[in-house]
Chain A
Amino acid sequence: MKRNHLLIIVFAFIIALASFAGCSSGGGEAATEEPAATEEPAATEEQAAPEEEAPAVSGAVMIAAAASLENAFEGDLKPLFNAQYPDVTVTGTYDSSGKLQEQIEGGLEADIFFSAALKQMDALVEGGFIDAAAVTDLLLNEVVLITSPQSETKVTSFDNITEAKSIAIGDPASVPAGQYAQEVLTTLGVWDKVESTASMGTNVTEVLNWVAEGSAEVGIVYATDAASMPDDVKVLAIASPETMQTPVVYPVAELIRVTEENKAATDAFVEFIKSPEAMSVFESYGFKPYEG
């Protein structure tokens, strides 16, 4: 609907420009602006044209996604998708994957589930909410060591992390990124030392802020968290996959409950999420494609 309004406005603008150009008998500026403006609706048509059924797809899709995906979806993916499918309304609900799993089990009418870990996806497959064949392990998040751009830390990698005067990590008892940090540091044999000196954040934002302010010399978060504050934190090192028992994989799947009338819209959105176009958006938010 909004897209239609926009088109009408753009169209009206072009007509106005064109008539203006006609009146002023070839005013240089108007003439150069005109083709630029006409390009926009033309491009939209082109994008929609190759997929024959595309203009016909309509409906409502609700995606339940991990909180770390919110910016990517709300900022870029939804508008991009709606440019191709203007008649599909996409709504998003974002929370921790565990909470979303509980909500879906409790009757949340989501059409797509995008989890930040395999565990919650597996639970919903077992619970009969998702068809195992529908699950795609799409994204990879990395565990990174960060510091402030202003810091003069001697730490260069996870191996010599104990040279930092202060370390911030997520509390492994409650923060998934903290559990991964513990895994990595345990493998490297420095967890005992870190545990007794590290400040345990109760969420990732707290860890980011401690590092950004220099209260903590270094911290451990997800690559996507670090990418959300590019001016305030810089990545020192990426944890190698060998130091972790399981990689941080984000699986996505359509739910079994999707209704007949929204099926085409849901399929289209899932296809879009898996497209190279969407992947480049995910990558700009710090994710990596998962090639397992």
Chain B
Amino acid sequence: MEWAPVIISLKTASVSILITFAIGTWLAYLVCRIRKDSVRSTIDAILTLPLVLPPTVAGFLLLYIFGSYRPLGELLGEIGVRIVFNWQATVIAAVVISFPLMYRSAKAAFVQVDPIFMQAARTIGLSERRIVFRILLPLAAPGLASGGILAFSRGLGEFGATALIAGNIPGVTRTMPLAIYSAVVGGRTEEAYRYVVILILVSFIFVWLLSFLTDRRTTRQRSGERTPRL
């Protein structure tokens, strides 16, 4: 068994979660601040779509953007950047597919923060920036952490969009899910079995961590004062 797919998958998931965490949290914050209900719902729906659409749809759209013969892809190609069939493409696919999990978790976490804290902070003249970093984010931390873990695990398992834009190059873009698929259709059941076990183990550890974190949070909430929800 080759270890390359395991390393590629972990590398992809690790880099993509940094991007997903930052963008997901930031967009969730921005969407929460939109006052107009119809606008907010529309943007919310668009940002959630990759969660319900098959990854092949996301992969197809990504090809439309970054494909070698598409405007942006050609522009990038002229400055020597090739997205498709490179390792970076596995990260892009993982970010797009895991993004909604981060975004929705962050949004739920922000909504649950009692606005009275922010109002109190505003009355004593704290800047909006400080309110976000000192009050909102720490209070939403457990929700953000669970979103991050979910997104990381999803990125680790990304298959459909990756196959479309990153290809299946052993040692470069062949992630664990692609290695499993190639092994199964190639009749190498033993090899597939090993990757499956590794993938299940890693995913289990992270999802267990998630349950552990959320359980702890709810018990603490139950024992302490119940925070009113919006």
Q: A residues engaging B (CB < 8 A)?
A: 148, 150, 165-166, 168, 171, 173-174, 195-202, 206, 209-210, 213-216
Q: Which of B69, B167, B181, B187 contacts A210 (CB 8 A)?
A: B167
Q: Closest CB-CB distance, B227 to chain A, in whole Å?
A: 49
Query: B113 an interface residue at 8 Å Cβ cutoff?
Result: no
Cβ-closest chain B residue relative to A217: B68
Q: Which of A202, A206, A216 contacts B85 (CB 8 A)?
A: A216
A198, A206, A210, A216 interface centre (most CB from chain B within 10 Å)? A210
Q: Which of A148, A202, A216 contacts B69 (CB 8 A)?
A: A148
Q: Closest CB-CB distance, A96 to chain B, in whole Å?
A: 11
Closest 5 CB pairs of A and B: A173-B186, A214-B68, A199-B167, A215-B84, A174-B185
B82, B181, B186, B188 interface centre (most CB from chain A within 10 Å)? B186
Cβ-closest chain B residue relative to A206: B163
Q: Interface residue tally of chain B, by bracket?
A: 20 to 34
Contact status B186-A174, CB under 8 Å: yes
Interface of A is mostly: loop
Query: B171 an interface residue at 8 Å Cβ cutoff?
Result: yes
Residue interface bits B140-175, CB-to-A below 8 A is 1, else 0: 000000000000000000000001110111111110
Q: Closest CB-CB distance, B47 to chain A, in whole Å?
A: 26
Contact status A198-B67, CB under 8 Å: no
Cβ-closest chain B residue relative to A215: B84
Contact status B186-A171, CB under 8 Å: yes
Q: Give the docked Cα–Cα distance between A243 and B140 (Å).
A: 64
Contact status A202-B84, CB under 8 Å: no
Contact status A216-B167, CB under 8 Å: yes
Q: Closest CB-CB distance, B128 to chain A, in whole Å?
A: 44
Question: Inside 8 A of B163's CB, which chain A residues have their CB?
Answer: 206
